[in-house]
Amino acid sequence: MSDKTFGFETLSIHAGAAPDPATGARALPIYQTTAYVFEDADHAAALFNLQTVGFIYSRLTNPTNAALEARLATLEGGRGCTVASSGHAAQVLALFPLMSPGAEIVASSRLYGGSLQQMRNTYPKFGWTAKIVDADETENFKRAVTEHTKAFFIESLANPGGVVSDIEAIARIAEASGVPLLVDNTLATPYLCKPIDYGATLIVHSTTKFLSGTGTSMGGAVVDSGKFDWSRGGKFPSLAGPEPAYHGLNFYETFGDMAYTFHSHAVGLRDLGPSQAPFNAWLTMLGIETLGLRMERHCANAAKVAAHLEKHPAVAWVNYAGLPSNKYNKLAKKYLPKGAGSIFTFGVKGGYEVGVKVVDGVELFSHLANIGDAKSLIIHPASTTHRQLSDEQRVAAGAGPDVLRLSIGIETVDDIIADLDQALAKATA
């Protein structure tokens, strides 16, 4: 492709993939291989010394995965990308070059329950500490910063509540604090929001969700903006100091704005090993081709369903940023101008017991622990995804006892509404 600026839908189909030069195949091949033959001893040595770019072993790099990485970096407006085996693996991989024992991360309390569990209970085993703050008050990030802070972490559109973070304001605080801002952009996707445009340093994805689009493929990704000075303040010696495994090589001095991505492959994937399967990368590439079309329908359907539920007599409240009545509507218009996504929560009158009955009563919706599928999905977070949290933590995360989370699919919207109506009727009879 030329240097011409193409539209999002065009890039979703063409970025990172071209006809196969060996066979002419138009579809991206699945390189289902573990290793690659070297041209000679000098070529092998150059690859292992990071003096030339190429393929060594599929734990590190794979041509199918590389195509997905190029596409995601392009769509997010980033410099480089590393794909991983899951969204959670991507989060660990994202923090790995930044953190060390004693290091701290400041994170929003409005995160997916599994992410909060990871930060509160798993990261301490690495010697990392996560300070959890209410991101609605952005100054909380500034107040939580210490000399040990190495990163901020937020979700652009939070799971489960559809909370919109003020990315630009938090990015300014991160910049002043000399730390990168990591943004989980899973729910919004780059079709709805591009956090790098608002100052984010690193983007994390669970590609399992909307990017794949059909609930078939586990995966994660880390996209680097290429804009952060890793040598600033001496905070990040893994990226801007001598790397013992490569004879003292300094990634930032050697690779510049690609330092983070090279480190993620050459050290992160090498030592942690959370590689994405090439078949999953191939399926995700296929899914991304229709991302724009699907997100349009997801958002249109969600807006209609949310407006309907807001007036339903069995519903106490609806938290969807696309509703004019929602406290995050102004932020949604700024950061999500094409739509407020398809994930939102609502509260049922009658609390926990009624919520459980609703998920047992749906027929079109699938009751399962996933989001971002073409099919409509429902879950009761307090009894499932956020079950490991305390009552207070669940409420703070937007997953109280009365909360139901919906992932609105791309079915006929009248059918979606009818299914919710009948389930609510049965649950409140």
CATH assignment at residue 404: 3.90.1150.10
In a domain, 3, yes or no: no
pLDDT of residue 387: 74
Pair 345, 422 in one domain: yes
* The last residue of a domain, from among 261, 287, 313: 287
- Euclidean distance between CA atoms 118 and 361, whole angstroms: 32
- Give domain status of residue 1, yes or no: no
Determine the length of the chain. 429
pLDDT of residue 114: 87
Query: Which distant-in-sequence residues (6+ apart) come within 8 Å of 199 by Cβ?
Result: 167, 168, 171, 172, 174, 175, 181
Assess if residue 303 is contained within a domain. yes
Residue 330 falls within a domain, yes or no?
yes
For residue 111 the two structure tokens come to 């995160």
Asked which of 287, 305, 326 is the last residue of a domain, the reply is: 287
* 309, 422: one domain: yes
> pTM of the full predicted structure?
0.94
Q: Check whether residue 203 and residue 295 sit in a common domain.
A: no
Last residue of a domain, one of 287, 312, 328: 287
pLDDT at 366: 97
Tell me the average confidence (pLDDT) per consecutive run of 10 residues in the chain, 429 residues long.
Answer: 80 95 93 97 95 96 98 98 98 98 96 90 97 96 98 93 93 98 98 98 98 96 98 96 95 98 98 98 98 98 98 96 96 97 95 93 95 95 77 76 95 98 96
CA pair distance 38, 36, nearest whole angstrom: 6
Q: How far apart are the first and last CA of the chain?
A: 60
On whether the CB atoms of residues 292 and 191 are closer than 8 A, the answer is yes
State residue 391's pLDDT score.
79
Q: What is the pLDDT of residue 394?
A: 76
Question: At residue 2, what is the residue type?
Answer: S
2 lies in a domain?
no
Quote the radius of gyration of the chain (alpha carbons, Å): 22
User: How far is Cα 64 from Cα 16, in angstroms, rounded to an integer?
Assistant: 9
Residue 313 belongs to some domain of the structure: yes
What is residue 227's predicted lDDT score, i.e. its pLDDT? 98
- In a shared domain, residues 418 and 310: yes
pLDDT score at 159? 84
Order of strands across the sheet with 377-379? Answer: 315-319, 343-348, 403-407, 377-379, 366-367
**Residue 76 within a domain:** yes
Same domain for 296 and 208: no
Residues 255 and 312 in one domain: no
Give the C-alpha distances (Å, rounded to integers) separating 387 from 39, 114, 362, 384: 53, 10, 21, 5
pLDDT of residue 220: 98
State whether 32 and 84 are in the same domain: yes
pLDDT in the model for residue 1: 53
Query: Does residue 319 share a domain with residue 242?
Result: no
Same domain for 100 and 234?
A: yes
Q: Are residues 21 and 165 in the same domain?
A: yes
Give the pLDDT score at 3. 53
Q: Determine the structural domain holding residue 211 and report its residue range.
A: 8-287
- For residues 69 and 172, membership in a common domain is answered with yes
Residue where the block lists tokens 């991989």? 93
The domain tally of the chain equals 2
Residue 36 lies in a domain: yes
Instruction: CATH number of the domain at 152, please.
Output: 3.40.640.10
Do 312 and 269 reside in the same domain of the chain? no
